């Protein structure tokens, strides 16, 4: 299958080695896309690397692999996150898009891929309000143009003890937040997912409080690693992964990364997320990936990497902040992470 051979590079020496676009894309397609990607590449690649004080990422576009035209290709720009990806392989597209948590479509891992086709992702608006000088409602087309798209390869670690490595396409959430001019009272950011029982059969059952609500502290939300994602594997997000836009906070357990977001509220008080409301002792507000703080019902010291050897493959040790400690550790300096789990 093409995904395994063309899009699952291993990085034996360092996390910074990526395949060149011509290695993963047929030359004709690459040549076609090269020109229009070039402009985007120059704007986009510096963003994350610059903000983190790293050498600029390759200013080179990576053309999306054609997938029979099912989903629209998104322009993407390769960017790098040092340290995070050494010895990691991309999780095959198949696993990323068929093994999902999206309770609005049911609680089985296969429900979202089977049922999320009823989600209507256009037209779509995102409302941003609360403690801001400039509340705004943005349409999807405005959002797609708001900042240059980057490709970000991140680990995703679910609180349930499995993980994936996913090439997202999007830009830092901070680009959106800066536009609305947060007031001095804005201390936290709250994210609301769509909750429409007509499109989302899972919303008819009371497994969670709907809408799905998540939250971040303001400095976490403004951190350059915090991504608003519109795509993965170079294409628009499949519905089951949270189309048309979802959050990705790679150093926190996956449930912090809310899908199919319709509203962002800047608030003064710590938000109560749907999972915290459901089981406060099990799912805290911070939920930073931490191998030393176990879930009350299971260990968090290791994880099962999807797409690598099946259920009985050896588990991988889980890393502090999911491997992003160098980037985000200072956000929690002096905090007791057992207390603030
Ligand atoms: N709205 C909403 N967002 C959600 C969820 C959900 O059920 N509803 N599940 C979360 C959990 S538990 C995980 S692990 C990730 C999974 O993202 P993925 O399916 O794209 O891998 O989405 C998170 N975001
Ligand atoms: Mo999760």
Residue 53: pLDDT above 80?
no
Q: Which atom of ligand 1 is nearest to the CA of 241?
A: 20
Q: Is the CB of 158 inside a 6 Å radius of any atom of ligand 1?
A: yes
Q: Is the CB of 162 inside a 6 Å radius of any atom of ligand 1?
A: no
Q: Is the CB of 102 inside a 6 Å radius of any atom of ligand 1?
A: yes
In a domain, 40, yes or no: no
3 state SS for 4-32:
HHHHCCCCCCCCCCCCCHHHHCCHHHHHH
DSSP 30-72: HHHHHHHHHHHHHHHTHHHHHHTT-PPPP--B-PPPP-TTSS-
Residue 258 marked ligand-binding? yes
* % of the chain beyond a pLDDT of 90: 72
Residue 104 marked ligand-binding? yes
When pLDDT is cut at 50, 70 and 90, the band that residue 79 belongs to is low
In a domain, 51, yes or no: no
Residue 259 marked ligand-binding? yes
In a domain, 62, yes or no: no
Q: What's the CA angle centered on 264, arms 93 and 331, to 5 degrees?
A: 80
Q: Write the pLDDT tens digit of every residue in 233-287.
A: 999 999 999 999 999 999 999 999 999 999 999 999 999 999 999 999 999 999 9
Q: Worst-scoring range by mean pLDDT, 3-17, 169-183, 207-221? A: 3-17
The number of residues making up the chain comes to 341
CATH number reported for the structural domain that contains residue 142 in this entry: 3.90.420.10
How many angstroms separate the alpha carbon of residue 257 from the centre of ligand 1? 6
In a domain, 6, yes or no: no
In a domain, 319, yes or no: yes
Q: Which atom of ligand 1 is nearest to the CA of 232?
A: 20
Cα(172)–Cα(193) distance, integer angstroms: 18
Q: Whole-number mean pLDDT of the chain?
A: 82
Residue among 98, 95, 96, 101 at smallest CA distance from 202: 101
Name the residue with the closest Cα to ligand 1, atom 1.
259
Q: What's the CA angle centered on 317, arms 253 and 57, to 5 degrees?
A: 70
Q: Domain range holding 220?
A: 91-332
Question: Number of folded domains in the chain?
Answer: 1
Predicted pLDDT at 88: 86
How many angstroms separate the alpha carbon of residue 162 from the centre of ligand 2? 8
SS3 171: strand
Q: Which atom of ligand 1 is nearest to the CA of 100?
A: 19
Q: Is the CB of 258 inside a 6 Å radius of any atom of ligand 1?
A: yes
In a domain, 324, yes or no: yes
In a domain, 321, yes or no: yes
When pLDDT is cut at 50, 70 and 90, the band that residue 312 belongs to is confident
Q: Write the pLDDT tens digit of every residue in 110-142.
A: 999 999 999 999 999 999 999 999 999 999 999
Q: What is the mean pLDDT of residues 5-32?
A: 30
Cα(191)–Cα(189) distance, integer angstroms: 7
């Amino acid at each position: 299958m093409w995904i395994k051979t063309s899009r699952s590079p291993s990085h034996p020496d360092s996390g910074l080695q990526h395949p060149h676009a011509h290695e993963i894309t047929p030359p004709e397609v690459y040549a076609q896309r090269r020109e229009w990607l070039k402009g985007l590449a120059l704007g986009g690649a510096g963003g994350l690397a610059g903000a983190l004080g790293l050498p600029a990422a390759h200013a080179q576009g990576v053309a999306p692999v054609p997938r029979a035209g099912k989903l629209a290709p998104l322009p993407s720009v390769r960017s790098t996150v040092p340290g995070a990806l050494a010895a990691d392989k991309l999780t095959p597209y198949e696993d990323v898009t068929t093994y999902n948590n999206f309770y609005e479509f049911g609680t089985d891992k296969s429900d979202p891929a089977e049922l999320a086709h009823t989600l209507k992702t256009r037209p779509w608006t995102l409302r941003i309000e609360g403690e801001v000088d400039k509340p705004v409602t943005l349409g999807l087309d405005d959002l797609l143009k708001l900042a240059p798209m980057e490709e970000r390869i991140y680990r995703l670690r679910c609180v349930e003890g499995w993980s994936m490595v996913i090439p997202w396409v999007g830009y830092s959430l901070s680009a959106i937040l800066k536009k609305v001019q947060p007031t001095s009272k804005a201390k936290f950011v709250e994210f609301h997912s769509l909750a429409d029982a007509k499109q989302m059969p899972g919303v008819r059952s009371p497994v969670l409080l709907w809408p799905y609500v998540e939250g971040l502290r303001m400095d976490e939300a403004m951190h350059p690693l915090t991504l608003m994602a519109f795509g993965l594997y170079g294409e628009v997000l499949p519905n089951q992964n949270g189309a048309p836009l979802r959050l990705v906070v790679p150093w926190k357990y996956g449930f912090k990364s809310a899908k199919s977001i319709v509203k962002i509220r800047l608030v003064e008080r710590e938000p109560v997320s749907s999972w915290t409301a459901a089981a406060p002792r099990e799912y805290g507000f911070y939920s930073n990936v931490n191998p030393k703080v176990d879930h009350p019902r299971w260990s968090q010291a290791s994880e099962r990497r999807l797409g690598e050897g099946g259920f009985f493959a050896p588990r991988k040790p889980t890393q502090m902040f999911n491997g992003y400690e160098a980037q985000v550790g200072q956000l929690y300096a002096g905090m007791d992470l057992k207390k603030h789990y």
